[in-house]
Every structure is written in C-alpha cells, then in structure tokens.
Structure 1
Amino acid sequence: MVNFSDIKGFIFDLDGVITDTAVFHSRAWRQVAAQVQVAWDDQLADQLKGISRMESLNLILARGNKVDDYTDDEKEALATAKNENYLKLVNQMTPADILPGINEFLAELKQGGYLLSLASASKNAQLVLNKLGLAGYFEKMVDPTSLKKGKPDPEIFRRGAEILNLRPENCIGIEDAAAGIESINGAGETSIGVGDPKVLAKANICFSTTRDLTLNNINNVFN
C-alpha cells in the first residue's frame, strides 16, 4: 500500500456511501420483479447493488429464466418504468438523508485540499447530490453512459482518477459493495470498504459505518 502522504484524491461511490438510495432502488426493482412474476428475496436485492439498470433487469429476468421472454424494447420499457418509480422516491430526498459522518468527512477533505470525484453507476447521481445539497463537493463526476463496462470492471474508478488528473496510486476509492471494491483494486487505487468486513474482505481498509470515515482514522490504518 502507498503512503498516506501520497494520497491526493478520493473517489466516492454514491449508494451506501453518501446516502442510502439502495432502499429506493430495491423498492422499485421489487415492483418490476412482481410485474414479470419473478420471486424477490434479499439475495437478489444484494446482487443488484452497484450495477447498471439493464444489468439489474437482466439479473431479475435470469432468476426466473425469462431473459428470452422479452424483446429489447420491452426490456427498455421495464427499465424505464423502474427508473420513473425510483425518481418519485428520490425527489422526496433532503439533506437529512445523508449518511452519518459524511457531511463532516467531505468538509474535512475539502479543507485538506483533496480532490473529489464521484464514480456511481447511477444516471441519477447529479439529481441525488442536488437533493442532498452536496453537489458543490463534486466538481467532477464519471458519466456512467460513457463506460463500456460496469463494476466490477475497473473502468469507472480508473476514469474517476483521470478526471481529477491524478494517477490511480494517488487515489482512494470508497465503496460499500464487493463489486465496487474489486473495481477500485483493479484500477490500482487504495480501497476503503464501508460495511460488513466479511463481504468486503478484499478491501485494503474496512470501516463498519460511515461514521468511521475520518482522515485521522484512515491515516492510522496506513501507519
């Protein structure tokens, strides 16, 4: 692992790190699963974390052996309906929906002169940040529509460093999902996982909650 003094930028995932829109995604996808008559459970919900909309839909359809039952246009319509339901929920968000400690951590990073970018698979990331009042912290955001591959491919976190004009080894990526940690590691960056250490076993550093995200705590682990 590099020295903490070498770190110049932080690249954030959105869902599960800055706010918990996973519950909104889950509710909207559950409606789709019911529509296509696929059984919903916690395992399926977990598999959908951190991946793109069409990948999520295909996972749901695959669970019910229904991938070939729908045309591309029908799949697009299902994904669009899911997004419309999700946006209704997102539009009700406020700064109260920021996860504990994140406001303070972002302020600390800005004060410390670190560069920040967002590496989220969500096409609604800008809307979410606006609702939370955090858009000012993230001058740079990876455009998920420009990516060839989703997480766990390292492309999104590699791009997160590029838009900050930083080398991967000078960046820390923060994620709550195993696929995201794999993406960060593959990009050659230091990975911080937030959540269950068993699920995030491949993370270079793991904290159980967002409250633990402080420069002092990160520095202590490096040292």
Structure 2
Amino acid sequence: MKLQAVLFDLDGVIMDTAEFHYIAWKRLAEELGIAIDREFNENLKGISRMESLDTILRHGGKADDYSAEEKRDMAERKNSHYVSLLDRLKPADVYPGIRELLLALREAGIPAVVASASKNAPQILRALELSELFRFVVPPDSVPRGKPAPDLFLRGAEEVGAAPEFCIGIEDAQSGITAIKAAGMTAVGIGSEAMLKAVGADVVLPDTRRLSLEFLRGLLSA
C-alpha cells in the first residue's frame, strides 16, 4: 500500500509545550481555589481547551458553579498566559528526527498534516520554523467533534486528497490514538507502550528518534 499522507499531533510529537500548558492551567486553577499537579495534568492531554477546563472544575467540585460565559473567560485567561509562554519556543525545540522526517516527506511528495486540538498550532509552527513543511493544519473549530472522535484526522486526510487507509497518524495521547484508529488509519504512538497499545496503537516508539519515511512506509507494507 502506498503512503498518501502523514498526520501529526503537535504537543508530544513535534515538540513539547505540555509544560507551558501545565503552568497556565495550574495558574488558573489556583485562581479558582483548585489544586492540580503534574499527575492530574495527564488527564488534560489531547483534549480541547473547554474540555480541559471542565475536567479541572469537576476535579475541584465546581462543575456547576460557573456560567458558560464565565467559563469562556476562564479559558481565554488560560490561553493568554499560555500564548505568552510560547515566546520561549525556538527551532531547536523540535523533537529529534521530526524535521528530517518532514523534509523527507516533502521530497517524496507525501503531504504532512497537523491534526491537533491546539488553536495555537500556526503560531507554534512559525516559532519552530516548520510552517512550510506542512501541507495543511486542521483548524480545530472546523470539525464538529474533537479527539477521541476521528474528525480532525478525517478532515486532514480529505484536505490533501488522501484515503484514510493509506494514511498514518502519529500521537502521544490515548485520545489521539483512539481518534486515528476510528478514522481507519495506521496509528503510531510516541511514549508509553502499555498505555498506547491498550487503545489500539499499531506500533509504539519511546520517542521520535526512530521515525523516518522508510520506517513509516514499512508499516503499510508489513
């Protein structure tokens, strides 16, 4: 089978702004009188901003304490702080092997797509000097459902004219792996083999160093 497109999550796959997200969510949670730690923060990976806020409010026993407008304001406060932290990003923050993989994909004419819940993806890619290596970045608001639904990945494949069964998705979160498999694509997990295999990852790598065009093509021909 010929590889037609590769779809990437952002945080934890291309680079790691998880610490920035954690700092921003922790600051907001403290303002609300809710304590969160790094272990709890694992629950926020791969889901949307509003879903993350709802998860924090439930954790603090305050799920019904705020109106929809108040929650939108809270989410915007968190995002403003997060965006201010993005100024620290630089090209050297790209994970090992990712830039080389993207260059190989471009050389081979295989589209690379970002399928992330992050609304800040374009800004992050500019800071990392990767924008020109991606054919399309799926706007999270352009699909009806976020991960673990397959919508982001299906939209990305559609935009570059690729059939899902000839696509590979790369994710570090369980919700993302679930979304890739629901889209009918091959799923590569980055991180914990036990955690990601449990939700259907076809292969799991401990980090991005082994990712290459040859490796990805081999998954479809196996």
Same fold (TM over 0.5): yes
Would you say the 8 A contact 2:168–2:216 is kept in 1?
no
Report if the CA contact (8 A) 2:104-2:213 is conserved. yes
Which of 32, 51, 62 is equivalent to 2:28? 32
Percent of pairs with identical residues: 44
For 1:212, what is the secondary structure of its paired residue?
coil
In 2: Cα distance, 1:193 partner to 1:44 partner:
21
CA distance in 1, matches of 2:10, 2:69: 29
Distance 2:215 2:140 in 1: 31
* Match for residue 175 of structure 1 among 160, 171, 175: 171
Count of aligned positions: 219
- The superposition leaves residues 48-100 of structure 1 with CA deviations (integer Å, 9 ceiling, x where unpaired) of 01111110000000111201111112111111110011011112211011111
Q: Any gaps of 5 or more consecutive residues in structure 1?
A: none
Q: 1:130 aligns to what? A: 126
Q: Supply the RMSD in Å over aligned alpha carbons.
A: 1.2
Letter in 1 for 2:210: D
Match of 1:113 in 2: 109
Counterpart in the other structure of 2:56:
60
TM-score by length of 1: 0.94
Runs (4 or more) in structure 1 with deviation over 6 Å come to none
Aligned residue identity for 1:165: G
Q: CA deviation at 1:153?
A: 0.6
Question: Distance between the aligned counterparts of 1:46 and 1:88, measured in 2?
Answer: 22
Alpha-carbon offset, residue 220 of structure 1: 4.5
Whether the aligned pair in 1 keeps the contact of 2:9 and 2:170 (CA below 8 Å) is: yes
Structure 1 range deviating more: 139-148 or 120-129: 139-148
Q: Please tell me the residue identity of whatever aligns with 1:185.
A: K
2:156 is matched with 160
Q: Which of 107-116 and 153-162 deviates more? A: 107-116
Q: TM-score by structure 2 length?
A: 0.95
Letter in 1 for 2:16: D
Which one-letter code corresponds to 1:63 in the other structure? H
Q: Secondary structure at the match of 1:199?
A: helix
Determine the C-alpha separation between the residues in 2 that align with 1:11 and 1:159: 10
Letter in 2 for 1:105: L
1:215 correspondence with 2:213: yes
Q: Deviations over 1:112-152 (max 9, x none)?
A: 22111110111100000000000001131111111211100
Partner of residue 48, structure 1 = 44
CA distance in 2 between counterparts of 1:139 and 1:25 reads: 26
The Cα of 1:103 is off from its aligned counterpart by 1.0
Distance across 2 between alignment mates of 1:35 and 1:20: 25
Deviates more, 1:162-171 or 1:124-133: 162-171
